Amino acid sequence: MKKIILFAAALFTAAAVTTCAAIYYLPPSDKRLEDRYGGTVETYKSSFDCDKDGIDDQTDILNGALAYIKTRPKYKSIYYDGGFPDDNHGVCTDVIGFAMLSAGYNLIELVNQDIMAHPDDYEDKPDKNIDFRRVRNLNVYFSHTAGDIIGHYRVSYLR
* CA-to-CA dists, residue 39 to 35, 46, 50, 108, 138, angstroms: 7, 18, 27, 36, 32
Give start and end residues of each alpha helix (H) in 26-80. 57-70
Map residue 119 onto helix, strand or coil. Answer: helix
In degrees and rounded to multiples of 5, residue 89 shows phi and psi of: -120, 160
Map residue 134 onto helix, strand or coil. Answer: coil
What is the residue-level pLDDT of the chain in tens, covering all 159 positions?
A: 666 776 666 666 767 777 666 666 666 666 777 878 777 777 778 888 889 999 999 899 999 999 998 888 888 888 898 888 888 888 989 999 999 999 999 999 999 999 999 999 999 899 999 999 999 999 999 988 886 554 444 444 433
Rounded CA-CA distance 102/63 in Å is 8
The secondary structure element, H or E, covering residue 154 is: helix 147-158
Q: Length of the chain, please?
A: 159
Tally Cβ neighbours within 10 Å of residue 105.
19
Burial of 60: CB neighbours in 10 Å, binned 0-12, 13-18, 19+: buried
Q: Are 83 and 132 in contact (CB under 8 A)?
A: yes
The DSSP call for residue 131 is: G
